[in-house]
Structures are given as structure tokens and as C-alpha cells.
Amino acid sequence: MGFSALLTLKSRYKLKPMVDKYDYKQLLQRLMNNLPEKSTKSDWFEVPHVQLSVTRKRSEIENFKEICDLFQREPQQLYLYLTKRLGAAGTIEGNKLVLNNQVSQEQVDALIKKYYEEYVRCPVCGRPDTVLEKRGRLYFLKCLACGAETPVKNPLKS
């Protein structure tokens, strides 16, 4: 619809501007009243702490499966990420990851947090609602909340 068509409609129906009905301050106040309450919590999603039990030769991450489910990632992917960076062989046994090495709680917590920042959290909106997609040789972090797609390093090799 062109500008001349709008002028014809305006003259035909004697349209009045809505500015006369509402004051700017009234509209602003109405908008402010309809906004949702501001969250007091700065980050609603918290990376879980690892429940680690260490023996002389082994370390077991008891809540490994829960962390994978929370991140919405395959256990095999997080397993490869952790074992490569910790330099320890390991196996997935049920809901836990068993590492054939002694590791510290802080060390594993730091790696889980780093994995979350690199391969789970959307760099655009900060939400954890993402999926990791492989296209050809490249990996993309696709956010289900805002739709952003960000290229990431190969989580299985890096």
C-alpha cells in the first residue's frame, strides 16, 4: 500500500491520530506496569559441582550422568573431553565416570565449568538451551532460545 493510498484511506474514513488519546507519560507508565518483575538472581543456571570419590588408584565422578543430562550432551562426548584434558584413561560405568588416576575436586570442577562455557552456554544470550551440530568438518553451537549459531572447536579433538 503506497503513501497516496494511505492518504485516500485517511480522508475517506476521517482517521484521527492516536496521539490525542494517550499522553506519552501514560503510555510509558502502562508499559512499565506490564513488564515482568526483574529477577534478583543474576544467573539462573548454575554449573553443578562434581561429586567425586577418590581412592588410591581411581577417581569416580558419581554425578556424571546427571551433569550430562543437565547439559543435554551425550556422556561419550563429555567423557572424551575430560579424559583428554585430565590425561587419564577411564570408563563410564552406569551413572558415573571412573578415571584410572587420582584427580582433585577443583581440577574436575574447573574442567566441567570450562566445558559448559565453551560447548553448552550460548555466547549471545547466555542460556544453556543449546545443541551441538556437526556440519561437514565444523561444529556449531545452536541456541534454541535465541536462534544464534556459533562455530566452536571440535569438542572431541581440542
Q: How far lies 133's CA from each of 31, 44, 126, 144, in Å?
A: 39, 25, 18, 12
pLDDT at 18: 57
pLDDT of residue 3: 56
Confidence at residue 42, expressed as pLDDT on a 0 to 100 scale? 43
Residue 111, number of CB atoms within 10 A of its CB: 18
Instruction: Check residue 4 and give its pLDDT.
Output: 59
What is the pLDDT at residue 40?
44
Report domain extents, the chain: 47-120, 122-158
Which of the residues in the chain have pLDDT under 50? Answer: 39-42
The CATH T-level fold of domain 47-120 is Alpha-Beta Plaits (3.30.70)
**16: helix, coil or strand?**
coil
Predicted local distance difference test score (pLDDT) of residue 158: 56
pTM: 0.69
Q: How many CB atoms lie within 10 A of CB 152?
A: 16
